[in-house]
Structure 1
Amino acid sequence: MLNDSQLMSETKYVHSILLIDDDIELTDLISQFLTQNGYQVTVANDGNSAMSLLSLQQPDLIILDLMLPGIDGLTICKQIRPSFTGPIIMLTALVDDIDEVTGLEVGADDYLCKPIKPRVLLAHIRAQLRRQSNLASQQKTHLKVCDGQLSIDLPNRRVAYQSQPIELSSAEFDLLVILANMAGEVCSRESLHKQIFKLDYDPLDRSIDLRVSRLRKKLGDDPKHPKLLTTVRNKGYLIAT
């Protein structure tokens, strides 16, 4: 029989995770738990170390604490988002709606408050990674909407509008694909929330609205008079065919 060390050495990790948090006891606990569940985990306990690691590797998912020594979590998220397209789950000990909104606005895909149970965190990790996997396995390789001006390359997760490349975060890309697959039809916030997060919809949750706002901005769509992505009052959102 194999001992524990031999079993660990033969584990085939499916996804890599970068865990960034200054609480060493917490990172040890989470790292051990996630490793036992088949993830390859790298840990950074301060912002500077995290940025150094990110310059050398691109994990599949990042768990990012808001309050960090050196470079704080919001700054890290904002700086890496243009080049990092994987999911970012932000952790914080602060219970403040403003912090949550700010985190989502700079590119976080999910937001959890401490103390966090490892199994709850694992569920959120699986939901975020499952989103990407489901999109990548779709039969269609390209989507074109908005009279063909907006092109979505599904396998490579690339977007172009009027032949110009558009840099999107993982969450923004996933939302755009869902809307594009239903071009010309209204998508309710509840439906979008359930497809993206695999969780029940909270009417007070602004996550979808924030992602739509960021999409409009990156596509150059006037939020007051949008042509590509319109809001249907009390119903949801609609992308042009």
Structure 2
Amino acid sequence: MNILIVEDESAICNVLKSYFLNEGWEVELCNDGAEAARMNAMQKFDLIILDLMLPGWSGEEVCRAIRKESNVPIIMLTSKAEEKDTIHGLNLGADDYITKPFRMKEVVARIYALQRRMNMLSAANDVLVTFNNGKMLVNFETKEILVNGKPANLTSTEFKILSVLIKRPGKIYSRSDLSYEVLGYRFIGDGRTVDMHIKNIRRKIEEDPRTPAYITTKVGEGYRFNFHVDEGQQ
């Protein structure tokens, strides 16, 4: 795995790099937001660790720029602990959010969980399928989705959430179950992180996100996907 660490505090960079190298991962460091966006455009990374408080471009600006180019998984690091900051980061396309100070074992565990889920989905799904009489096309191999012929541009985590739901249409997944299936751990708190990912997915795939057709909510229980694979593809 090739990881880009975007962090302007050298002490944190060095600790992260040391742990990651010990796991056998390749690591590149960057302390400037604009340079990080340029590096991502020039080469392929498997994961980006992105600090929100950076000189020059902020972490939010970097995340926004990267999302225009790729769906590379992004884990944000920040000292901002308020829920609204977490939601804002996820809205920009981050896949996970870790608050400083953090434990390195937790960071490494989350990376492994993310990697494991990505590998499982890639191994289990290598076909192209359609739903809703061809209105939604899902390519599990390239992790691309077209809705009414237009790219949905889901982030890595958004695609994984949708993949979990569409593999078992009609099944209700609680927030905790979705968190475990996608991230490899159950959420801590009220589950707003999962809700925000669902909100983002709906915004990208639904004709009217306020009256969703693909992903609906069963109050007090969770979320479900409402369409089976189009006839002839089962």
CA distance in 2, matches of 1:55, 1:140: 26
Question: Which of 218, 230, 233 is residue 232 of structure 1 equivalent to?
Answer: 218
1:164 to 142, 150, 155: 150
Q: Which residue of 1 aligns with 2:175?
A: 189
Selected match of 2:10 from 24, 42, 54:
24
Tell me the SS of whatever aligns to 2:97: strand
Matches of 1:228 and 1:120, distance apart in 2:
34
Residue 58 of structure 1 corresponds to 44
1:216 and 2:181 correspond: no
Query: Shift of residue 23 of structure 1?
Result: 0.4
Q: What residue is the counterpart of 1:207 in the other structure?
A: 193
**Which residue in 2 is equivalent to 1:5?**
none
Change (3 A) 1:97 1:139: closer
Deviations 1:139-198 (A, max 9, x none): 552333334421211111111122322211101110111111011222222211111122
Could you list the runs of 5+ residues in structure 1 that have no partner in the other structure?
A: 1-14
2:85 counterpart of 1:103: no
User: Number of paired residues?
Assistant: 227
Matched, 1:120 2:103: no
Partner of 1:11: none
Aligned amino acid, residue 209 of structure 1: D
| 8 Å contact kept, 2:6–2:33 | yes
Shift in Å, 1:63: 0.2
Unaligned runs of 5+ in 2: 228-234
Match of 1:204, SS state, is coil
Question: Contact 1:64–1:91 at 8 Å: present in 2 too?
Answer: yes
1:230 Cα offset (Å): 1.2
Residue pair 1:152, 1:159 contacting (<8 A) in 2 also: yes
Q: Secondary structure at the match of 1:137?
A: helix
How far apart are the structure 2 equivalents of 1:71 and 1:38? 30
Distance 2:60 2:203 in 1: 20
CA distance in 2, matches of 1:105, 1:166: 15
Amino acid of the residue matched to residue 101 of structure 1?
Answer: I
Identity %: 31
Q: Quick check: 1:151 aligned with 2:137?
A: yes
**Residues 35-78 of structure 1: CA distance to partner in whole angstroms, max 9, x if unpaired?**
11111000001212212212211200000001000100011112
Whole-angstrom distance in 2 between the partners of 1:223 and 1:161: 13
Partner deviation per Cα, 1:189-221 (whole Å, 9 max, x = no partner):
221111112212335121111111111111133
Structure-1 separation of matches of 2:153 and 2:4: 22
Give the structure-1-normalised TM-score: 0.89
Q: In the aligned structure 1, how far is the partner of 2:114 from the partner of 2:17?
A: 18
* 1:198 and 2:151 are equivalent in the alignment: no
Separation of aligned partners in 2, 1:63 and 1:212: 23
Q: Is the 8 A contact 1:221 1:228 kept in 2?
A: no
In the alignment, residue 20 of structure 2 is paired with which amino acid?
A: L
Instruction: Write the distance in 2 (CA, Å) between the matches of 1:79 and 1:52.
Output: 9
Which secondary structure state, in structure 2, belongs to the residue aligned with residue 82 of structure 1?
helix
Tell me the amino acid that sits aligned with residue 187 of structure 1.
Y
Give the structure 2 partner of residue 47 of structure 1.
33
State the Cα RMSD in Å. 1.5
SS at match of 2:49: strand
Contact 2:3 2:45 in 1 (8 A): yes
